[in-house]
Chain A
Amino acid sequence: MLSPPPMGFELLIVLSLTIAATMMVIVVSLGIVIHKVVNTNLVRRRQRLYSAYSDIMAGLLLQELPALLPNARTSALFDQYELMIKSIKEQLVRMTPARRKHEREALRLALIDFAKDVSGEISDRLVYFFYSFGFVDEQIILLSNRHWWIRAQAARDAGLLKARRVITSLTAALEDEHPDVRIQAMESLARLVGVESLRTILRVSRNLSQWTSIELSTIVMEYNEAAVPFLVEGLESKDQSVLLFCIEMLAEIGFVTAVEPLRHLASEYPNVVVRAKAIEALGRLGDERAEVMLTSFIDNPFPNIRLKSIEALGRIGAPKAVPKLLKRLRQGELSEKIIAARAIASSGSVGMKALRSVSVSRDALNISVAEQVLEEFTVAQERT
């Protein structure tokens, strides 16, 4: 019969495990502390480097340059810029690769921060420095990085560098798989190229998400009327999301040169959703040129087209459409009756008279709708 192990043996095992666990905790804690200290030192070092390069660059950007002779070569100015940074370049070359990496990163960040905040001639110097230090080429390479956040950052920084060499890469980034990269590329292209970037952006973009549309609309609204020709070009897009976006923007900007292209879309485009959107946009533009076409859509077989046309006529105010609108009020579904009644009421005294005649007709539902809308308009008029 085997005897049980002595008590002391079990105690030894427990003690050993305890000591091992304690040692592990101590080692891990020490590791965390050391990591923290190293990180803190690294951050402080980066901040010191950044401050140092900020100071140096501030001085270089403001340095007065000798005046060039009238017959000097165009590149003479660049020779002056190159001379300014020659010593920095020489120092970087002499550093170890690891140190050079940190220093270049600090320098790049300092230059990008200046690029955000300055304009004028020193902005041109900055662009030259970006090229000369090789940061532009680095950005182009980073735009192909496998991590989307690095590509997005590169796309953003490319715009700040104001270096036209990145335009091709940014255009390619408009088709990136990640939306954040695409959005940054759009913003950077707008910064580099101006309003004409919309041509490329709208031609290349596909499947605009709601978020991308919001970001792009911010860019478009900054250009306002200047964006209209490019939005009209965008109406040729084969991508429905881009098409709908362009229609929405044209309606929002409200420039009347959009009326004819929108009329063409409303009457000719094969897709009902797009036609309805174009009709809505025409209403928002409020141009009377659309009245005849919109009136012809009141009896359209597609409910969406009918409703949007009636709404649009209400916005424009169309006395000549009142007879057809009355027919819709009498024969349409409830939602159509209400919209038609409002459109009739918006058509001035002719419309109001027609609506009052409905309010004394025999159909109880029509009477109710007419009276409701008449009251709405009376209250609205009293308020104004």
Chain B
Amino acid sequence: MANPTILVAEDQHHVRKLITYKLENSGYQVVTSENGAEALEKIREIIPTLVLLDVMMPLMTGFEVLAALKQDERTKNIPVLLVTAQSKEEEILRGLELGAEDYITKPFSPNELAARVKKALLRSNLKS
């Protein structure tokens, strides 16, 4: 059985690298994007198992990408985890209302991130 594919949309190089390394070490296949528009295009192309979306990104924000995913039949069931700045409660609430599965706030622990990804994938498997 192929390893789950996770798309990581994050504009900051160092964060993108950290998340990619962690998820690859945890046994996932990782595809990355540097901005929201690129992320949306790649998601529609490869239909990943899970999407990790940073909220603040150039070209398209994480919210805009999330909203677009939920309106598309092909992508609406892909679980999405939002990466948001700490103490931005309004961002978290907005993301959850738009249909995000979960969120993780910066600064984050890579171990916690991996645990949340695993949990989201389990939930998604149970639903399907």
A interface residues (Cβ-Cβ under 8 A, vs B): 50-51, 54-55, 57-59, 61-62, 110, 113-114, 116-123, 222
Contact = CB atoms under 8 A, between A and B. Distances in A.
Contact of A58 (B17, B108, B109): B17
Given A57-B14, A62-B25, 14 more contacts: A54-B13, A54-B14, A55-B17, A58-B17, A58-B18, A59-B21, A62-B22, A113-B12, A113-B14, A114-B14, A117-B107, A118-B108, A118-B110, A121-B109
A54 B110 contact: no
Contact of B15 (A62, A117, A120, A222): A117
B106 interface: yes
Contacts of B110: 61-62, 118, 120, 122
Contacts of B97: none
A336 to B, nearest CB: 43
Q: Is the interface of A mostly helix, strand, loop or mixed?
A: helix
Contacts of A59: 21
Nearest to A60: B21
Nearest to B25: A62
Contacts of B72: none
The number of chain B residues touching the other chain, given as a range, is 10 to 19
A113 B17 CA distance: 12
Interface string B104-128: 0011111110000000000000000
A59 B109 CA distance: 14
Nearest to A109: B14
B107 A119 contact: yes
A66 to B, nearest CB: 16
B21 A110 contact: no
A222 B89 CA distance: 13
B108 A119 contact: yes
B106 to A, nearest CB: 5
Given A113-B12, A117-B12, A61 B18 contact: yes
Contacts of A58: 14, 17-18, 20-21
Interface in B2-32: 12-15, 17-18, 20-22, 25
A226 B108 CA distance: 24
B17 A120 contact: no
Contacts of A222: 87
A384 B14 CA distance: 54
- The B contact surface, by secondary structure, is helix
Contact of A119 (B12, B13, B25, B109): B109
A343 B21 CA distance: 65
Interface of B: 12-15, 17-18, 20-22, 25, 87, 106-112
A250 to B, nearest CB: 22
Contacts of B21: 58-59, 62
28 contacts: A50-B13, A51-B13, A54-B14, A55-B17, A58-B14, A58-B17, A58-B18, A58-B20, A58-B21, A61-B110, A62-B21, A110-B14, A113-B12, A113-B14, A114-B14, A114-B18, A116-B106, A117-B12, A117-B14, A117-B15, A117-B108, A118-B18, A118-B107, A119-B107, A120-B110, A120-B111, A120-B112, A222-B87
Contacts of A116: 106-107
Nearest to A110: B14
10 smallest CB-CB distances across A and B, nearest first, come from A120-B109, A58-B17, A54-B14, A119-B107, A58-B18, A113-B14, A117-B106, A119-B109, A62-B21, A58-B21
A233 B98 CA distance: 45
A61 B87 CA distance: 25
A3 B25 CA distance: 94
Nearest to B112: A120
Contacts of B112: 120
A63 to B, nearest CB: 9
Nearest to B10: A117
Nearest to A120: B109
A222 B110 CA distance: 25
B107 A62 contact: no
A59 B21 CA distance: 7
Contacts of B20: 58
A57 to B, nearest CB: 7
A122 B113 CA distance: 13
B9 to A, nearest CB: 15
B109 to A, nearest CB: 3
A110 B15 CA distance: 10
B38 to A, nearest CB: 18
Nearest to A54: B14
Nearest to A113: B14
A55 B16 CA distance: 10
